[in-house]
Amino acid sequence: MDTQLTGRTALVTGASRGIGLAIVTALAAEGVRVVAAARTITPELKETGAITVPVDLATPDGPAHLVDQALAELGGDLDLLVNNVGGGDDGSETVPGFLGFADGDWQSLFDVNFFAAVRTTRAALPGLLRSRGVIVNISSNSARMPHAGPVPYTTAKAALTAFGKALAEEFGPQGVRVNTVSPGAVRTALWEAPDGYGAGLAKAFGVSQEELLAALPQQTGMTTGRLIEPAEVAALVTYLASPLAASVNGADLVIDGGAIKTV
């Protein structure tokens, strides 16, 4: 299938691993000139051939600096912004409930999962309006099931999903399409790293991480019986970025193996 993306430009955040790395790889394969941003530039990211920019998007000034550098590197406006940066998987040994999160925890999780997208979008929008471009936000199916993860994380993702809807309504008539992709459990470091969220959850339940991951699809209602691969999410993002999806705007597309049961 010809996605008609050859020669277009993109900025992808949170690109060093997992879903972000898969998105960069997929876009580059379609002939897109990609600027890839991450706090740490991994060897795998360098191998994609993307222009890499190290940046901490949880800081107030990081997003504007990133967009300025991306535009300078590309020599023109962006056609696509993928707000993928997010997380909350950096290594707690326990998984606290609501009362276990202080104000600083809420702020840090909102900074990376919500405000990074707000600030990056604000900086990139003037150029996206000129190019009649596309924004894809990577949220989570836990935005629709706020009990299914750490409450500051799921609440931030719910805010991100609402943010995408609002942007689509305001800027759709001006030619900018905005959509959200909401994955379920994806085979990434969040689940598989020995110091990530999956490891902490396994410890809390008193099982091995291998046992947790084996049981996870069934326990979360994934009718496909397996975790989602990052490349599957990337394929959906690539479609939404392309002219093939010209009439898709304001959508929240869930890719979770059937975990969400409601209409």
Instruction: Return left, alpha or beta for 18; rule: phi > 0 is left, psi -120 to 50 is alpha, else beta.
Output: left
Kindly write down the DSSP assignment for every residue of 99-112, as one continuous string. Answer: GG--HHHHHHHHII
* Catalytic-labelled residue, pool 153, 171, 191, 197: 153
Task: Write the CB contacts of 162 (distance below 8 Å, at least 6 apart in sequence).
Answer: none
Beta bridge partner(s), residue 135: 81, 178
Q: How confident is the model at residue 25 (pLDDT cuts 50, 70, 90)?
A: very high
Task: Write the CB contacts of 149 (distance below 8 Å, at least 6 apart in sequence).
Answer: 140, 142, 197
Tens-place pLDDT, residues 55-108:
999 999 999 999 999 999 999 999 999 999 998 755 454 578 899 999 999 999
Pick the CATH number of 9-185+231-255 from 1.10.1040.10, 1.10.3720.10, 2.40.50.100, 3.40.50.720: 3.40.50.720
Domain spans of the chain? 9-185+231-255
* DSSP 8-state code for residue 91: -
Say what the pTM is.
0.96
Over residues 236-246, the mean pLDDT reads 98
Tens-place pLDDT, residues 202-232:
998 999 999 999 999 999 999 999 999 999 9
Q: How confident is the model at residue 1 (pLDDT cuts 50, 70, 90)?
A: confident
Q: Catalytic site residue 153?
A: yes
* DSSP 8-state code for residue 186: B
- The average confidence (pLDDT) of the chain is 95
As a whole number of Å, the CA-based R_g of the chain is 18
Residue in 69, 71, 43, 75 with CA at minimum distance from that of residue 57: 69
Angle of CA points 185, 113, 51, to nearest 5°: 90
